[in-house]
Chain A
C-alpha cells in the first residue's frame, strides 16, 4: 500500500508569505505527527494528532505555526508570515494505533526555504 505522502516536496517562500504544507498519512492511521528538521540537525517534534484531535502542540515554535486535521486523515501545517528561521524540512509521520507503541512511518518531507 501507499506510504505517507507530503506535498509540495519543495517550497520557496519570500519572507512574510504564508505557506501550507500537506500530509497524507497511511490510510487508517490514527496518530499523526509533525516534526521540523533544520539543516544538519535531528527532527524536532512540533505537534501530534489522534484522529482529528490535536492532543499536543507544545513543539510549535510560535503562534505563526498552526496545524489541523479536520477529518482525521489529511493534515495541513500552516506557517504565517514566514521568517528565515523557518527554513527547514518538515516531516510528517503516522502510526496505526492511538495507544501503546506503534511504529511511526515517515513521509519524504517538505523542504521549505524562506528567502
Chain B
C-alpha cells in the first residue's frame, strides 16, 4: 500500500513571495505518478501539476514547479510570485502507473494562506 505524508498542516506567505510545500511518500512501485491538487474554499479539487516518476526533469506549470527526488521519495511544490487566489488547501497525491485502477492516494493536505 502507498502512503503520502504532508508534514505542514498550515503555511502562510506574503503576496508575491515564494513558498514551498513538502510531501513525502512511501511505495514499492517503480512506475507511478505524483500530483499536487488545489482545493479552494468552494471545495472543487483542481489539478495543479503532475510528475511522472520515470521522468527525471522536474515538472513546471507557470508559477508552479516541483522538486522531485525519487530516491528520497520526496515531492515538494514551489509556488512563485504567490497570489491571493492561491489561498487553498493543497493535497499531494500518488497514483500507480500499472494495473486497472487509477485511484489516487492523498496526503492530509496543507492549508496555504496568502496574505496581502
Contacts and interface: CB of A to CB of B under 8 A. Distances in A.
Interface residues on B, range: 20 to 34
Interface in A74-107: 89, 91, 93, 95, 98-99, 101-104, 106-107
Interface residues of A, number: 29
B25 to A, nearest CB: 12
B91 interface: yes
Contacts, number: 60
Nearest to B89: A42
B104 A104 contact: yes
Interface string B45-72: 1110010100000000000000000000
A82 B68 CA distance: 42
A41 interface: yes
Interface in B16-75: 33, 42-47, 50, 52
A56 B104 contact: no
Contact of A101 (B44, B91, B102): B102
Contacts of A43: 45, 91, 104, 106
Interface of B: 4, 6, 33, 42-47, 50, 52, 91, 93, 95, 97, 100-109
25 contacts: A3-B44, A33-B103, A33-B104, A35-B104, A42-B93, A42-B106, A42-B108, A43-B45, A43-B104, A45-B105, A48-B103, A55-B100, A56-B100, A56-B103, A59-B103, A89-B43, A95-B102, A99-B100, A101-B33, A101-B52, A103-B47, A104-B102, A106-B45, A107-B44, A108-B44
Interface of A: 3, 31, 33, 35, 40-45, 48, 50, 55-56, 59, 89, 91, 93, 95, 98-99, 101-104, 106-109
